[in-house]
Amino acid sequence: MGESKSRQKLEDLMKILVCPICKTRLLLEDEKIVCTKCGRRYPILEGDIPDLLPESGVLPEDAESAQ
Ligand SMILES: [Zn+2]
């Protein structure tokens, strides 16, 4: 069905969505959404639904110092 259509919808959403932490514009990458300011990465759920809950955001430093 319309996979590219839902991705297009997501790209439209990106124009109005901001990071829930720092209220900065977000960048759409293949499988995630990246904040251009704090660098938090948010997952994209099935159906191209952005998961922009503050607790879903992962800082790059967190991922590296997790172990
Ligand atoms: Zn941010």
The model's pTM is: 0.81
CA atoms within a 13 Å half-sphere pointing along the CA-CB vector of 20? 12
Domain count, the chain: 1
Ligand 1 centroid, distance to 10 Cα (angstroms): 18
CATH number at residue 47: 2.20.25.10
Phi, psi of 15 (to 5 degrees): -70, -20
Distance 24 CA to ligand 1 centre (A): 6
Kindly provide the residue ranges of all beta strands, DSSP E only, lying in 1-67, ordered along the sequence.
26-28, 32-35, 41-45, 49-50
Cα 37 to ligand 1 centre (Å): 5
pLDDT score for 5: 86
Question: Which is higher by pLDDT, 34 or 65?
Answer: 34
What is the 63 CA–ligand 1 centroid distance (Å)?
Answer: 16
| Closest residue by Cα to residue 28 from 50, 61, 6, 45 | 50
Residue 46 CA to ligand 1 center (angstroms) comes to: 22
| Full domain range(s) for residue 25 | 3-64
Q: What is the pLDDT of residues 23-40, one digit of tens each?
A: 999 999 989 999 999 999
Q: Return the higher-pLDDT residue of 4 and 49.
A: 49
